[in-house]
Structure 1
Amino acid sequence: MNREAHPGSTAHEARRTGRNETREERADRLWMELLQEVRVAQTGVQILLAFLLSVAFTPRFQELGSFDKGIYVITIMLGAAATGALIAPVSFHRILTGRRLKTEAVQWASRFTVTGLVLLLGTVSCALLLILRVVVDNQLAVWLSLIALVWFATCWFLPPAWLRHRSRRSR
């Protein structure tokens, strides 16, 4: 068997990933890329959650009906869960640094990041529903929120899923 074709060899990894890097170098690169992505998402979810938390202390909040307060609670819980998932990569890094588990940490952190994005999608959709129910007719609010949900899901998840599927078929 040719050494270059052997799974696990550097040449095999280079052909598979398109880069000439060791397993550790790849984990380092993926980790840095992931941290950059998480910084963007964390900032957005933290600003949104801070805004949502302040809403409960406004005079108009008391005027909301129980259904709208229920939407608010769901929105806050989704935002808190998204925050937890998007901050999880930081704890992975801090707790596992120096333990030679970077590849596994990157895999888990990536899963938490995708989970955080899904939860952020739910947070934004519910926040829009709540705000639009105050501003426009209830039925229109539902439709507008669904349109936004589909738009975000289309932008965030559909193109990567399509590319992933296409690349699997071409192999």
Structure 2
Amino acid sequence: MSFGQRLKRIRNFRGFTMKQLGMNLNIPERQADVRISQYESDKKMPRKDIIEQMARILDVNEWALDNPDINTYYGAMYNLFEYYFSYGLHPIKIDGKVYLTIDKNIAMDSLVESLHDWYDEYEAFQNGTITKSQFIDWMLKYPEYSKKNINKDPRKKWLEKK
């Protein structure tokens, strides 16, 4: 999800109009809604200090607005939170272990099918049917080697590369 989409979702959740948010950022009233509209449509990206100020005004962590770094634990969590909004990804606990699942009412059938495809390839790697190199190659070239393409040359040639 883009910065602008996140900003709009959070701004609406907090009950701010574009003009109110802009004025709280000390943007002149006649320009306030236009500037926020530019941010929300991703036509302009605010500077880091403006993002920090928006986060304070909207009472959120700045990572909820900015593009989180997936190489940090908090950044990874904020990315997972975005998947909640986009696909209904949420945690469930089974026998004391936490798993991630998606809400089939929100996620498209094609995403559910793709997750099953990923699981099948991962399982094939785990049981030795395909090599680790093939599994990584499969992810890097997805969906080219997908089982959906089982009768097509790319997957057949890929499986022969073992």
Same fold (TM over 0.5): no
- Which of 1 and 2 has higher RCO (CA within 8 Å, sep 6+)? 1
TM-score, normalised relative to structure 2: 0.29
Higher helix share: 1
TM-score w.r.t. the length of structure 1 is 0.28
